[in-house]
């Protein structure tokens, strides 16, 4: 993994399109980048052959076939690849590019994609993990194929090479090669002298772009949104042939499939920085508008009702009242998610439990139906920003196989989760480029609040008023925050603690995750009551504790309980930062206060989270970190 771009069209602009596409995929995280272009037919005696995959601009032996594949790739950022490109453009009608996040083998020029066959006439890029690559590698080596990298991907061009040598045409050779792969993959290939990009997917995303002057494929829409907003989403088991004049989708036997073209509702400006220094800061500031979009047409203030049309067919009541088999009991709801989305799922499960629904949250990587009771009565909700998170997709597929009714709560229209689940609810946060999720977390929380209301009591006037107050409350935080000053005071700290109770606990966990992701400093977040069960041993005068204390605290004595936890850390000399809507009640127990407006017991923590996002951002900024592309992390984790 991590990002794929492909283009067929205007031969004078292939390289420019590929580099633009790779730039649009940088947000996903990567440690090397590369491109391959299939050159048009030529006379081998009069034109030099291209490189054999490894180092940019290194000549290989002259080719004996018409056309060739030119490959350039480099470890490091995209700028390193651009610096390595020769003067002048490389002509060609088809090209592929890749940003790699290391899985097999360390970052290096040799391990960077694209990878080629022995002759250098086939180039391949791949996301995912080929589980049987060692077996295939041994088989191909026995046939005389030589390998130059540590990657699992390199077996694919050699499989293609073997099928071409046996007389297969490129499309048939590609299908046969892919049929030998086990695991997850999105794979794309070009062949010398051919103006087609061949692609296939299995449990790793690929989307096609339908343009006027050519056609595209990519891991994600931002790679080509500058050129077209018309897309086709590839499903598992489908193959695509992309040419300058059109695209064709086929099954594994080569039979053409009917497809529909969808139009993306956002434009290239939505994915820009709009004058901000970082995408993350821009996206933090976009949260009021993102939440307004999430609420649009789903809440009715006059009637005090919440209606999520996508969930109209979902009932949490066991059995059916019409056939006399209704028990009146509520069906169990199981949330599956990873990372930030898991913290949102914890929040959503608590909302449902307070409405009497038996709801649990599971880390998707730990969710297996042989250990978790799942049946046709179960409702499984997958919370995933991208809709492509491998662990979450696997969990949802297990739930499906066990007969559960599945709901995807995602930000990406047409994503795998959206297409595979029985129902889908979109959070409508718009494109999020920064690796560290910000506006999508807030939008997930709001969407989960509406989901909980829509599936239970239908909402109330007080609920709707609170939801409507969230965007203005966040804007007030953004306008009045003193998070930057707090960040400057604690920028040299080696560790941070984040604590909270009730609905504040998931926010504390998310605050710690943000601090870890973008500052590379140690941070822990947990329910405040857990302090005395171990973490207190790590608290020192150099360990700032961020205590989220809003009116969401569980029980009438919730605030007094967390104040007791605060005094525990103060007794050890730790500085305390209170994030609260009750500064008069907690100010005397804190060294600093980050104030938020009160917008209702379940929703004020959403505003508190914005303060914690800003603290992490400004600490990372003071440290000079790569905020939008933190080391070792990918935006969409498409491997388990």
What is the residue whose two structure tokens read 């041993």? 537
Q: What is the CATH number of domain 2-265?
A: 3.60.20.10
- At 203 the pLDDT is 81
Q: Exposed e or buried b for every residue in 628-638, given b needs 16+ CB within 10 A?
A: bbbeebbbbbb
Sheet of strand 333-337, all strands in order from the earlier edge strand to the far edge = 359-363, 333-337, 379-384, 405-410, 423-426
**What DSSP string describes 185-204?**
EEEEEEETT---EEEEEESS
Q: In percent, how much of the chain has pLDDT > 70?
A: 90
How long a stretch of residues is the chain? 640
By C-alpha distance, which of 559, 590, 593 is closest to 575? 590
Report whether 229 contacts 431 (CB < 8 A): no
Q: What is the mean pLDDT of residues 506-531?
A: 95
- The three-state secondary structure class of 228 is coil
- At 87 the pLDDT is 74
Q: Which of 62-66, 266-270, 480-484 has the lowest mean pLDDT?
A: 62-66
Task: For residue 304, give both structure tokens.
Answer: 């005090």
- At 439 the pLDDT is 95
Report whether 314 contacts 425 (CB < 8 A): no
β-strands 239-243, 246-250: how paired?
A: antiparallel
- At 557 the pLDDT is 62
By C-alpha distance, which of 546, 523, 514 is closest to 616? 514
What CA–CA distance (Å, rounded) separates 470 from 604? 8
Q: How many C-beta atoms surround the C-beta of residue 427 within 10 A? A: 27
At residue 170, what are phi and psi to the nearest 5 degrees?
-55, -40
pLDDT at 49 over 50: no
Which residues are known catalytic residues? Answer: 2, 635
pLDDT tens column, 50-61: 333 333 433 344
Report whether 125 contacts 114 (CB < 8 A): yes
pLDDT tens column, 457-506: 888 999 999 999 999 999 999 999 999 999 999 999 989 999 999 999 99
CATH class of 481-640: alpha beta
Going by pLDDT thresholds of 50, 70 and 90, the confidence category of residue 43 is very low
Report whether 488 contacts 622 (CB < 8 A): yes
CATH class of 272-472: alpha beta
Task: For residue 415, give both structure tokens.
Answer: 């994503």
pLDDT at 331 over 80: yes
Q: What is the mean pLDDT of residues 555-567?
A: 76
Q: Which residue has the higher pLDDT, 523 or 601?
A: 523
Burial of 354 (0-12, 13-18, 19+ CB in 10 A): middle
pLDDT at 11 over 70: no
Q: How many C-beta atoms surround the C-beta of residue 476 within 10 A? A: 17
What CA–CA distance (Å, rounded) separates 305 from 340? 28
At residue 522, what are phi and psi to the nearest 5 degrees?
-65, 135
- At 571 the pLDDT is 84
Which are the contacts of 258, defined by CB distance < 8 A and separation ≥ 6?
Answer: none
- At 89 the pLDDT is 60
Report whether 57 contacts 90 (CB < 8 A): no
Report whether 33 contacts 97 (CB < 8 A): yes
Q: What residues does 207 pair with on adjacent strands? A: 218, 233
Q: How many C-beta atoms surround the C-beta of residue 53 within 10 A? A: 28
My answer on whether omega of the bond before 114 falls inside 30° of 0, hence cis, is yes
β-strands 359-363, 183-191: how paired?
A: unpaired
Task: For residue 630, give both structure tokens.
Answer: 């933190």
Greatest mean pLDDT range, 21-35, 67-81, 391-405? 391-405
Report whether 53 contacts 71 (CB < 8 A): yes
pLDDT tens column, 130-161: 999 999 999 999 999 999 998 999 999 999 99
Going by pLDDT thresholds of 50, 70 and 90, the confidence category of residue 638 is low
CA separation, residue 556 to residues 126, 288, 526 (Å):
55, 30, 21
Going by pLDDT thresholds of 50, 70 and 90, the confidence category of residue 267 is low
Q: How many C-beta atoms surround the C-beta of residue 275 within 10 A? A: 6
Going by pLDDT thresholds of 50, 70 and 90, the confidence category of residue 622 is very high
pLDDT tens column, 407-443: 999 998 888 899 999 999 999 998 888 989 999 999 9
- At 65 the pLDDT is 38
Strands (E), 319-472: 333-337, 359-363, 379-384, 405-410, 423-426
Q: Exposed e or buried b for every residue in 155-185, given b needs 16+ CB within 10 A?
A: bbbbbbbbbbeeebebbebbbbbbebbebbb
Q: Which pTM value belongs to this model?
A: 0.78
- At 323 the pLDDT is 46
Q: How many C-beta atoms surround the C-beta of residue 590 within 10 A? A: 22
- At 104 the pLDDT is 73
* R_g over Cα of the chain: 26
What is the residue whose two structure tokens read 């961020």? 546
Going by pLDDT thresholds of 50, 70 and 90, the confidence category of residue 558 is low
Helix ranges restricted to H, 40-114: 78-84
Q: In percent, how much of the chain has pLDDT > 90?
A: 60
pLDDT tens column, 171-202: 999 999 999 999 888 999 999 989 999 999 98
Domain with CATH 3.40.50.10490 in the chain: 272-472, 481-640
- At 42 the pLDDT is 53
Q: Which residue has the higher pLDDT, 572 or 516?
A: 516
**Sign of the dihedral through C-alpha 392, 182, 189, 172:** negative
Q: Helix axis angle, 170-179 relative to 155-165, nearest 10°?
A: 130
Task: For residue 569, give both structure tokens.
Answer: 């850390």
Cα 108 to chain centroid distance, Å, stands at 25
**Sign of the dihedral through C-alpha 445, 449, 450, 451:** positive
Going by pLDDT thresholds of 50, 70 and 90, the confidence category of residue 575 is very high
Going by pLDDT thresholds of 50, 70 and 90, the confidence category of residue 321 is very low
pLDDT tens column, 75-133: 888 889 998 888 766 668 899 999 887 777 787 888 888 999 999 899 999 988 899 99
Task: For residue 340, give both structure tokens.
Answer: 């930030």
What CA–CA distance (Å, rounded) separates 109 from 121? 19
Strands (E), 314-368: 333-337, 359-363
pLDDT at 63 over 50: no
pLDDT at 64 over 50: no
Report whether 159 contacts 165 (CB < 8 A): no
């Amino acid at each position: 993994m991590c990002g794929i771009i492909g283009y067929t069209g205007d031969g004078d602009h292939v390289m420019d399109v590929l580099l633009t596409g790779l730039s649009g995929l940088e947000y996903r995280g990567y440690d090397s980048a590369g491109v391959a272009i299939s050159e048009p037919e030529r006379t081998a005696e009069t034109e030099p052959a291209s490189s054999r995959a490894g180092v940019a601009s290194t000549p290989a032996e002259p080719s004996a076939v018409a056309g060739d594949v030119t490959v350039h790739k480099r470890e490091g950022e995209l700028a390193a690849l651009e610096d390595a490109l020769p003067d002048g453009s490389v002509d060609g009608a088809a090209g592929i590019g890749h940003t790699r996040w290391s899985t097999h083998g360390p970052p290096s020029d040799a391990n960077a994609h694209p990878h080629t066959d022995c002759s250098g006439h086939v180039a391949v890029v791949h996301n995912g993990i080929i589980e049987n690559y060692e077996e295939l590698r041994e088989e191909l080596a026995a046939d005389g194929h030589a390998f130059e990298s540590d990657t699992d991907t390199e077996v694919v061009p050699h499989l293609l090479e073997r099928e071409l040598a046996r007389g297969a045409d490129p499309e048939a050779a590609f299908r046969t090669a892919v049929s030998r792969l086990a695991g997850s993959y999105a794979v794309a290939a070009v062949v010398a002298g051919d103006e087609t990009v061949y692609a296939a997917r299995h449990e790793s995303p690929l989307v096609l772009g339908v343009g006027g002057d050519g056609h595209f494929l990519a891991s994600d829409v931002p790679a080509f949104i500058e050129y077209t907003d018309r897309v086709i989403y590839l499903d598992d088991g489908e193959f695509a042939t992309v040419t300058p004049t059109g695209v064709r989708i086929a099954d594994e036997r080569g039979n053409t499939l009917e497809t529909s073209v969808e139009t993306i509702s956002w434009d290239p400006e939505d994915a820009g920085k709009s004058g901000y220094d970082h995408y993350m800061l821009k996206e933090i500031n976009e949260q009021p508008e993102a939440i307004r979009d999430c609420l649009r047409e789903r809440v009715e203030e006059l009637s005090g009702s919440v209606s999520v049309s996508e969930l109209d067919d979902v009932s949490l009541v066991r059995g059916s009242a019409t056939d006399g088999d209704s028990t009146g009991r509520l069906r169990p709801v199981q949330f599956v998610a990873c990372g930030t989305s898991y913290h949102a799922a914890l929040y959503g499960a608590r909302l449902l439990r307070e409405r009497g629904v038996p709801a649990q949250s599971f880390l998707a990587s730990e969710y297996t139906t042989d250990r978790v009771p799942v049946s046709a009565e179960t409702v499984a909700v997958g919370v995933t920003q991208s809709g492509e998170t491998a662990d979450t997709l696997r969990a949802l597929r297990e739930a499906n196989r066990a007969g559960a009714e599945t709901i995807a709560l995602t930000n990406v229209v047409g994503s795998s989760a959206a297409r595979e689940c029985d129902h889908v609810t979109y959070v409508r946060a718009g494109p999020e480029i920064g690796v560290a999720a910000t506006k999508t977390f807030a939008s997930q929380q709001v969407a989960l609040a509406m989901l909980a209301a829509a599936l239970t009591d239908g909402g109330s006037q007080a609920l709707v008023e609170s939801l409507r107050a969230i965007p203005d409350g966040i804007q007030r935080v953004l306008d009045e925050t003193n998070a930057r000053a707090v960040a400057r005071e604690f920028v040299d700290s080696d560790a941070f603690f984040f604590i909270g109770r009730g609905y504040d606990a998931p926010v504390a966990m998310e605050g710690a995750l943000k601090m870890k992701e973008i500052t590379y400093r140690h941070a822990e977040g947990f329910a405040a009551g857990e302090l005395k069960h171990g973490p207190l041993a790590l608290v020192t005068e150099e360990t700032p504790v961020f205590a989220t204390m809003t009116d969401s605290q569980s029980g009438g004595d919730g605030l007094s309980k967390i104040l007791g936890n605060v005094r525990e850390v103060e007794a050890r000399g730790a500085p305390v930062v209170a994030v609260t809507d009750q500064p008069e009640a907690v100010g005397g127990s804190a060294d600093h206060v980050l104030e938020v407006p009160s917008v209702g017991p379940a929703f004020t923590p959403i505003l508190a989270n914005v303060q914690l996002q800003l603290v992490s951002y400004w600490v990372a900024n003071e440290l000079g970190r790569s905020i939008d592309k933190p080391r070792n992390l990918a935006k969409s984790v498409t491997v388990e």
